Amino acid sequence: MRGEPGTLFGVMRKRRTILAVFAHPDDEAYGPGGTLAHYAMQGDAVHLLTFTRGEAGSLGVSKELEPDELARLRTIELKVASEALGLSSQKIVGWPDSGLASMPFEDGVGVVGDALRLHEPDVLITFHREGVSRHPDHTTVYGWVMEAFARTDVKTVARVYGWGILEELCKPQRPERDMASIPQDEIAARIPLSEEAYQRKVESIHAHVTQITFFDRLKEWFGDYRSVNDAEYFELAASRVPQPQPVVDDLFAGLPA
């Protein structure tokens, strides 16, 4: 994969680590894919934990496929998308799509806790607390991540950021649904996307072939998709180390070098 340790401006530095935790294949791409690519491009370790194989997907060709076949295809798609973003690793737990809320809470917390011990991240990324689309799988994963963060004794883990969508972008995306945006006064991080980070995000979206009709809708709604992807936005869901400013442009801001 592309995310290899290296130098920044010719200077060796400690490799920082992010663990992103989401529910479905494509959450990482349509979500904070540009941010994940941004840090991977800098040589940081970026790991992805995905709980389901996406067998309950209902977009486009997904409706014509049996659940096992859809899960097989989406597993492959996630691998390709992860390579496009430059991720250091990706893992699918394989729990039931659209059924995470029925799984034992302690088991979900345990899976995230195991990933924290394995990767020893500095920063965790997951959904905004309301799950962006309010999908029960999304909000369930958020709860597991928050509890695992609260319990962990992994000393490196400093913050949890929740990715979300600006209010002005929610209604055009799905005017028929009540999307959950990040309130303006709760934005704690704005990560600007370079052209390469944006292009890697788009490449990762295209890797999710079974879900590509959603990208077609986004381009119809917004016209210029790049114009609404100049940056990605996060709430500060939990932190052990204060941010140096109320809104930062680096998820590692204020953490030990």
**Domains along the chain?**
15-239 (3.40.50.10320)
Residue appearing with tokens 């349509």? 30
- Residue 238 CA to residue 151 CA, distance in Å, equals 12
- Please calculate the CA angle 21-246-140 and round it to the nearest 5 degrees: 25
Task: Tell me the pTM.
Answer: 0.91
Asked if residue 135 has pLDDT above 60, the reply is yes
Q: Is the pLDDT of residue 221 over 90?
A: no
Helical H runs in 223-257? none
CA 164 to CA 155: how far, in whole Å? 27
In contact, 232 and 35? CB cutoff 8 Å: yes
Average pLDDT, the chain: 90
Query: Which pLDDT belongs to residue 188?
Result: 98
75's tokens = 């597993």
Q: Is the pLDDT of residue 201 over 60?
A: yes
Contact 77, 25 (CB under 8 A): yes
Query: What is the DSSP-derived secondary structure letter of residue 64?
Result: G
1-15, 73-87, 90-104: which range is least confident on average? 1-15
Tell me which residue of 201, 144, 171 sits closest to 22, measured CA to CA. 144
pLDDT band at 9 (very low <50, low <70, confident <90, very high): very low
233 contacts 110 by C-beta, under 8 angstroms: no
Question: Measured between alpha carbons, how far is 247 from 232 in angstroms, rounded to an integer?
Answer: 12
* pLDDT tier, 11 (very low <50, low <70, confident <90, very high otherwise): very low
pLDDT category of residue 8 using cuts at 50, 70 and 90: very low
Q: How far apart are CA 238 and CA 149, in angstroms?
A: 8
pLDDT of residue 14: 63
pLDDT above 90: percentage of residues in the chain: 74
Q: What is the mean pLDDT of residues 10-26?
A: 82
For 251-256, the CB contacts below 8 A with 24+ separation are 251/18, 251/35, 251/39, 251/123, 251/125, 251/159, 251/161, 251/189, 251/191, 252/16, 252/122, 252/123, 255/16, 255/122, 255/123, 255/158, 255/159
Confidence label for 10 from pLDDT (cuts 50, 70 and 90): very low
Q: Is the model's pLDDT at 207 over the cut of 60?
A: yes
